[in-house]
Amino acid sequence: MTILPKMAFISPMRARNKAAIAAIVFTALALAAFNAGWWWYYRSIQTYLEYQLSQRLTGVAATAAVHISPEDVEALLIDNLDVYAAQLLYLDSLARIDSLSEASIIDLDFDYLVSTRDDIPPEGYLLAQLNFDSISIAVAGRPAASALYDVDGTYLKSAYAPLFNTDGDVAAIFVAEAGAGYFSLLGSLRKNLFALAGGSALVVIVFMVFYIIYNRRMTAAEEKLFQAGSQAALGRMVAVVSHEIKNPMMIIRAAGERIEKKYEDQEASFIVEEVSRLDNIVSGYLSFAKGSFSLSLSAVDPAAMGRKIVDEFRPQFEAQGIELRIDIDNNLPQITADRIGLRQVIINLLLNAMQTVSGEEHRSRKIVGMSMHRENDTIRIRISDNGPGIKPSQRDKLFEPFFTTKTQGSGLGLYLSRRIIEQHRGTIGVSSNDRGMTTFTVTLPLGEQA
């Protein structure tokens, strides 16, 4: 018999999902690196412009201070109105020519002596505390510029130059506040940077949306091809297996029929019945794997079928010390289903549960439960166990061909069970929690099946 390599049945969907995640991560990192580069460029330009602005603004303040004589400084300190009027005209002209938002002269107590401001605050120069270090340098006799401040998108920068009295001491400070024109390039660069970052993010989002849609479609197509390849391989394998076991089954059946006829033995009739059922199952699996499976529909009483299966297998559960709990609604309506196929699904789930809990030696109570109830227009069959549970990483693989968590097993039971239930237009799913409770749920619609 040819044994098919397990690697041949690894779904391409997983590889494509990993590639999609890698593409998303790479794109996100590329976008982050791109925007980080632009922000670094912006900060470099900002630093350079701030230096140039400091040099220019300091030069304006120093030059203006040279044109204010010590006598005028002393006159301003004693509120000489004529000097005040002359200096105000000079400051207005200077502010207009050099694009200053404000030009002022303050005393060493930070009170305004003269200013181009329309609204001079009575509390004095408001930026004295913020720019104290730069003002201190000016008081010491050297021009200085403050740092660049960004307050809600509004840039603030000032320059200070000392004004001397006739004794050569610093008696006042000339203040030059940078106007909006100084920051136009910086503000424009910042707006363009935000626009570029937003535009690149939008392009990446649109690209990722199209990529996700494309990836899903390609994944669905590859999954169909994968299922077709798996089914073809499964068909070849089952063909070999069925050929190997059909002849021995026919010999066993013939021997059982002879014993039944000769001795009228009831156990012999049971052998004949079970061999016939096994033959039907193998034939059904063979045709199912080849894609030619068709349901043999008839009226089925699910409650009666469930109780009969429980009666047949209860001795096996009891022999292994497993408590079998049954909750079957006796008033369930009949459904139209394939009797052999549905029976095999229930038996497969029950035996899986039994094998799962039988290895839990540390449990004082091993429990397998089966319930059947009507829920709206469906019949729900639940088979649960208190085994070790199923890891989240394994749940999505349970119904793939040749995947098994047991040391022995073909990995075909759940795959074929799902195919049978889907042929009935039903569903089969699994849930498992941290306490080890695992439940398989089969949902079958009421009414005619096609």
What are the pLDDT digits (tens) for 325-344? 999 998 999 999 999 889 98
Burial of 31 per CB tally in 10 Å (0-12, 13-18, 19+): middle
Q: What does the block give as tokens for 302?
A: 């699910």
Per-residue pLDDT at 7 exceeds 50: no
Least confident stretch, 9-13, 34-38, 120-124, 174-178: 9-13
Confidence of residue 182 (pLDDT cuts 50, 70, 90): low
Q: What is the average per-residue pLDDT within 29-36? A: 77
Per-residue pLDDT at 143 exceeds 80: yes
- Choose between 269 and 380: higher pLDDT: 380
Please give the CATH architecture assigned to the domain spanning 22-187. 2-Layer Sandwich (3.30)
Per-residue pLDDT at 23 exceeds 80: no
- Choose between 2 and 12: higher pLDDT: 12
- Choose between 293 and 264: higher pLDDT: 264
Which 8-state DSSP code applies to residue 443? E
Please give the CATH architecture assigned to the domain spanning 294-445. 2-Layer Sandwich (3.30)
Residue type, 29: L
Per-residue pLDDT at 449 exceeds 50: no
Q: What is the average per-residue pLDDT within 97-120? A: 90
Burial of 256 per CB tally in 10 Å (0-12, 13-18, 19+): buried
Question: Domain spans of the chain?
Answer: 22-187, 294-445
What pLDDT shows up at residue 176? Answer: 92
The overall pTM is greater than 0.75? no
Per-residue pLDDT at 364 exceeds 60: yes
Quote the CA–CA distance of 349 and 359 in Å, as a whole number.
Answer: 16
Confidence of residue 284 (pLDDT cuts 50, 70, 90): low
- Choose between 342 and 284: higher pLDDT: 342
Confidence of residue 291 (pLDDT cuts 50, 70, 90): low
Q: What is the average per-residue pLDDT within 119-134? A: 89
What pLDDT shows up at residue 16? Answer: 59
What pLDDT shows up at residue 276? Answer: 75
The CA dihedral of 444, 445, 449, 450, to the nearest 10 degrees, is -90
Q: What does the block give as tokens for 334?
A: 């009949």
Range with the largest mean pLDDT of 154-158, 212-216, 344-348: 344-348
* Intrachain domains 22-187 and 294-445 with the same fold: no
On whether the CB atoms of residues 446 and 337 are closer than 8 A, the answer is: no
- Choose between 305 and 154: higher pLDDT: 305
- Choose between 418 and 283: higher pLDDT: 418
Can you spell out the DSSP letters for 66-128?
A: HTS-HHHHHHHHTT-HHHHHHHHHHHHHHHHHTTEEEEEEEETTS-EEEES-SS--TT--TTT
Q: What are phi and psi of 381, to 5 degrees?
A: -115, 120
Per-residue pLDDT at 37 exceeds 90: no
Task: Report pLDDT digits (tens) over 210-269.
Answer: 777 877 788 777 777 776 676 667 667 766 776 677 778 778 878 877 887 777 766 777
Confidence of residue 414 (pLDDT cuts 50, 70, 90): confident
Least confident stretch, 78-82, 103-107, 397-401: 397-401
Confidence of residue 180 (pLDDT cuts 50, 70, 90): low
Per-residue pLDDT at 10 exceeds 60: no
Q: What is the average per-residue pLDDT within 274-284? A: 71
On whether the CB atoms of residues 428 and 416 are closer than 8 A, the answer is: no
Q: What is the average per-residue pLDDT within 73-92? A: 92
What pLDDT shows up at residue 290? Answer: 59
Kindly report the average pLDDT of the chain as a whole number.
81
Quote the CA–CA distance of 98 and 53 in Å, as a whole number.
Answer: 12
Confidence of residue 4 (pLDDT cuts 50, 70, 90): very low
